[in-house]
Structure 1
Amino acid sequence: MLKEYTCIICPNGCDLTVKVEDGKILSLEGAVCKRGREYVNQELTSPHRNIASSILLEEGVIPLVSVRLSKPIPKERIFDVMSAIKKTRLKAPVSIGQVAIENVLELNSDVIVTKNVGAK
């Protein structure tokens, strides 16, 4: 079966055409680098994603602060993690790299702040 992917591992964003049979890659076309094969293999066996969002910030000079995950999580857990992020509130000031949620949902990934925001 032929499948098409857009690789998200590096900035090239290669459009990949992959022949897959029984969950194995038989051929791959379109990859500029070797990481395309790694990406497709991950997509076939255990897709992961990194997410970025924002958290409500109390007493900050702005009402929200941007956050991201420290490492990718299983794709099927994105909505669970987003729900946890939505329930979180931080108090200003906050700084880049500050952990907002440690080991979110026990997925071995932290939600970390990506912007310095001062208090009112």
Structure 2
Amino acid sequence: MSKETKIVCIGCPKGCSISISHDKSSIKAIEGYSCKNGLEYAKNEFTAPKRILTSTVKVKFGELLVVSVKTKDPIPKNKIFECMHEINELEVEAPLKIGTIIKDNIAQTGVALITTEPISRI
């Protein structure tokens, strides 16, 4: 018996409403996308959803108390809470540049956590 999952595509600015017909483990049909990005997004969102994770990390000796960070690449959606647990344990020392690697291979994802802003030392 086929089920249907509806998603809104974020592959381009159109925001197409996409329907994925499936039997829980495999895709039967994808409808509603208007470009190649939408088709790829729908396939990936169903089989292995990923997200860029953004957060903040505590800073010692910095002009600010925290630095904004993000994963350099998308991580598996099911690893978000594990990554956040690790991020909440981190503390770094200023100075920091944009793109400084805070943690390599966060939560065993193979993806680095990097800074997105510079922080001067005080």
* TM-score of the alignment, normalized to the shorter chain, above 0.5: yes
Counterpart residue number, 1:28: 31
- Alignment equivalent of 2:55, drawn from 53, 76, 80: 53
Contact (CA 8 Å) 2:59, 2:94: kept in 1 or not? yes
1:2 to 2:43 alignment: no
Residues 105 and 27 (structure 1), Cα distance of their counterparts in 2 relative to 1, 3 Å cut: closer
Q: How far apart in 2 are the matches of 1:39 and 1:58? A: 39
Deviation at 1:25, TM superposition (A): 4.0
* Superposition TM-score, scaled by structure 1 size: 0.89
Aligned to 1:111: 113
Q: Which of 100-109 and 31-40 deviates more?
A: 31-40
* Residues in 1 aligned to 2:30 and 2:110: alpha-carbon distance in whole angstroms: 33
| Long gaps (5+) in structure 2 | none
Across the aligned residues of Structure 1 and Structure 2, the Cα RMSD in angstroms comes to 1.6
1:50-80 deviations in whole A, cap 9, x for unaligned? 1100000111111110000011111111000
Which letter maps to 1:119? R
The unaligned stretches of length 5 or more in structure 1 are none
User: Runs ≥4 in structure 1, deviation > 4 angstroms?
Assistant: none
Tell me the number of residue pairs that the alignment of Structure 1 and Structure 2 aligns.
119
TM-score (norm 2): 0.87
